[in-house]
Amino acid sequence: MILDGPFELDPSRRYSVDLMSFRVDTRISKISVGLFAYFGPYVVQISALFLGYNRKEEEVSLIKPGVNFLTMESISMLPPQCDGVVLVAWGEPWRAGEGSVTWEELKESDYHGMKLVLNQYEELTE
């Protein structure tokens, strides 16, 4: 399920992700959420996280300045010629106290948006 996006980028530029977080109701669990970049016909995962039970915060960070929580790398580069990014979720959504919910219900009532900060840069050429 696409939670947010796609967000188009200029493929002639290079980007890194400085910050990526999203807000989802703390009652939601049993899903994974990831940021994906696409370039031409290809898609690559930049970061992802499984939402388990008993989360205390609505805001979930995949990437914070200085750390990608999937790769533990300090810089999260988007691939060259990246056309855009998209936030994708998969799994079997579960709402505490109610049970299974549809993706449409989750997106309509439990998902509260994302924050994405990209850094645009130029590669040094010799």
pLDDT tens column, 84-112? 999 999 999 999 999 999 999 999 999 99
Please give the average per-residue pLDDT across 71-96, as a whole number.
94
Smallest CA-to-CA distance from 45 within 92, 77, 18, 10 is with 77
Residue 4 CA to residue 113 CA, distance in Å, equals 7
pLDDT digit string, tens, across residues 9-54: 999 999 999 999 999 999 999 999 999 999 999 999 999 999 988 8
**Cα–Cα distance measured from residue 82 to residue 40, given in angstroms and rounded to the nearest whole number:** 8
25 Cβ neighbours under 8 A, 6+ residues apart: 58, 95, 109, 110, 111, 112
